[in-house]
Amino acid sequence: MTATGINEAEKIDVSVKGAALAAANAGKFDQLPIYDRAIECSSRERIRAIQLEKLIAQVEWTYERVEWYRRKMDEMGVKPSDIRTLEDVRKLPFTDKSALRDTFPYGLFAVPLDEVVELHASSGTTGKPIVVGYNDHDMDVWSDCIARLSQMAGVVPSDRVQMAFGYGMFTGGFGLHYGLQKLGCMMIPAGSGNTERQIQMIQDYGTTVLVATPTYALHICEVGERMGYDWATSTLRVGLFGGEPCPPGLKQEIESRMHIVCTDNYGLTEVMGPGVSGECLANRDMQHIAEDHFLWEVVDPETGVPVPEGEMGELVLTPLDKQAIPVLRYRTHDLTRVVTDKCACGRTHARMQKVRSRSDDMLIIRGTNVFPSQVEDVLTSIEGVTPHYRIIVEEVDGLDRMTVQTEIKPETFSDSFEEMDRFRALVAEKLKSVLLVGVRVQLIEPGGIERTTGKAKHVEDRRK
Ligand code: DLL
């Protein structure tokens, strides 16, 4: 905790609930608490100087200690001493998931295993998991990044934080736990699942902050409503969500039904876990990247060539002081754009637009490119459907067929077949006008789409 942190934290008006929290503090964003003002508000020149110093050291660390990178760099004819400017990062090899899979479990580790104090993994859908390790230094950096982004989202040391991520190999649970505790919050380690008990705990312990995926938060909201719990009078005021995209429609839905401010933070196992970036209350569609710990690039996903600043592309991240398992130029596959102008909250660290799509989640349906986020946008623009949906892609008689299952709200449901069919045709028409390809629509009764306590899986591609 910096000298400025705790005292300034009291300045935020925490009595205000819900999305009004951001609005109530609107005129005074630059007075809101900032965990590490010296770093988070430093000049762009200073940020770049810190990055360069760390990049040089990180490349040396990696080259000397990880055989896989040494071989790659030798093949490319690049030595650590060739890294003299930030732009020189482009001389380095990219890393992708396969590097971590191929070296499972410890092949990319740069420290002896007895220095490693924690292990995490992301399950992935096929093959071996991705395993990452942290030494004491990495744990410190991690919790610092989390403390920062929590405070950015309006969390203060006096908050009571209910953790509804699983405390397993997934980085979400423990990662956020340590950082929030570092900030001074009271942690309530509920873990994921057992939804009715989550609501009971919110009531019993006076929880003020909920940590979850947005999809699980919505489920908690629904179950609470069914139990007759009045979210408007609940102590809960901030949602610290992440781990999956939180489209604007979902965010608004959660904010209005749960009466909280719904914030979104981003990260991935391979470069740290949560903690890479987080939303501040001044700009609700962007997230500040912890730039003193991550060097970002945005590249064309096809060619790997950097795009001009501010343009959409694939985010590539180089963690700058990761000791146990360093990675250079990690291809996240997440699509975003990054801007570097100063934010109204006073922070100078670059901001990335919230991730809605990945370069590898694009579906090709009869030759047309379709992103699940497009389907999501159409569905959330239609009154009468819930945010729960699924996309099923199959091959029928040699042709791709895409089916969108969308769950309707109870008030939309009708016994009249004609009325339901008219509504179904309307949804299909709207989808076709945006996707430019015909899709089958199935209306699912309220509650009919399976709920998850973690990340939602919206797409099932059954094609070979
Ligand atoms: O999901 C880390 C995390 C946990 C971040 C909890 C925030 C909160 P992985 O399981 O490795 O790590 O999944 C990483 O999830 O590449 C994105 O595609 C997606 N993702 C994570 N956070 C967001 C977000 C964690 N806020 C992958 N918005 C990433 C959109 C997100 N996508």
Which of 125, 268, 353, 457 has most ligand 1 atoms within 8 Å of its beta carbon, as the pocket-test mutant? 268
How far from 384 is each of 379, 402, 404, 412, 443, CA to CA, in Å? Answer: 9, 22, 15, 5, 11
Would you say 152 and 261 are in contact if contact means Cβ atoms under 8 Å apart? no
Would you say 346 and 373 are in contact if contact means Cβ atoms under 8 Å apart? no
Would you say 393 and 460 are in contact if contact means Cβ atoms under 8 Å apart? yes
Atom number, ligand 1, closest to the C-alpha of residue 332: 16
pLDDT digits (tens, 9 = 90+) for 144-168: 999 999 999 989 999 999 999 999 9
Which of 332, 334, 356, 458 has most ligand 1 atoms within 8 Å of its beta carbon, as the pocket-test mutant? 334
Residue ranges of domains in the chain, CATH in brackets = 8-42+135-356 (3.40.50.12780), 363-461 (3.30.300.30)
Residue ranges in the chain modelled with pLDDT below 50? 1-11
Nearest protein Cα to ligand 1, atom 13: 268
> Ligand 1 centre and the CA of 402: distance in Å?
26
Which of 244, 271, 315 has most ligand 1 atoms within 8 Å of its beta carbon, as the pocket-test mutant? 244
What pLDDT, on a 0 to 100 scale, did the predictor assign at position 382? Answer: 96
Residues 199 and 220: their CA atoms lie apart, in Å, by 7
> Ligand 1 centre and the CA of 370: distance in Å?
21
pLDDT digits (tens, 9 = 90+) for 271-282: 999 999 999 988
> Ligand 1 centre and the CA of 265: distance in Å?
8
> Ligand 1 centre and the CA of 169: distance in Å?
14
Q: Which amino acid is at 161?
A: V
Nearest protein Cα to ligand 1, atom 1: 243
Atom number, ligand 1, closest to the C-alpha of residue 170: 10
Atom number, ligand 1, closest to the C-alpha of residue 241: 8
Phi, psi for 193 (deg, rounded to 5): 90, -175
What pLDDT, on a 0 to 100 scale, did the predictor assign at position 33? Answer: 83
Residue 286, strand partner residues: 353
Atom number, ligand 1, closest to the C-alpha of residue 358: 18
Q: Which amino acid is at 115?
A: E
Atom number, ligand 1, closest to the C-alpha of residue 455: 1
| Tokens of residue 175, six digits | 């990662």
> Ligand 1 centre and the CA of 423: distance in Å?
34
Atom number, ligand 1, closest to the C-alpha of residue 273: 2
Would you say 298 and 337 are in contact if contact means Cβ atoms under 8 Å apart? yes
- Identify the helix (H) or strand (E) that includes residue 277: strand 273-280
What pLDDT, on a 0 to 100 scale, did the predictor assign at position 95? Answer: 98
Question: Ligand 1 pocket by C-beta < 6 Å: which residues?
Answer: 122, 171-172, 242-245, 264-269, 273-274, 332, 334, 354-355, 358
What pLDDT, on a 0 to 100 scale, did the predictor assign at position 128? Answer: 83
The pTM assigned to this predicted structure is 0.94
Q: Burial letters for 134-146: b for 16+ Cβ neighbours within 10 Å, e otherwise?
A: bbeebbebbbbbb
> Ligand 1 centre and the CA of 108: distance in Å?
22
> Ligand 1 centre and the CA of 213: distance in Å?
9
What pLDDT, on a 0 to 100 scale, did the predictor assign at position 23? Answer: 63
Atom number, ligand 1, closest to the C-alpha of residue 245: 30
| Tokens of residue 112, six digits | 């002896």
What pLDDT, on a 0 to 100 scale, did the predictor assign at position 84? Answer: 98
| Tokens of residue 204, six digits | 């019993």
> Ligand 1 centre and the CA of 37: distance in Å?
26
> Ligand 1 centre and the CA of 244: distance in Å?
5
> Ligand 1 centre and the CA of 356: distance in Å?
11
> Ligand 1 centre and the CA of 171: distance in Å?
9
Asked whether the bond before 93 is cis by omega within 30 degrees of 0, the reply is no
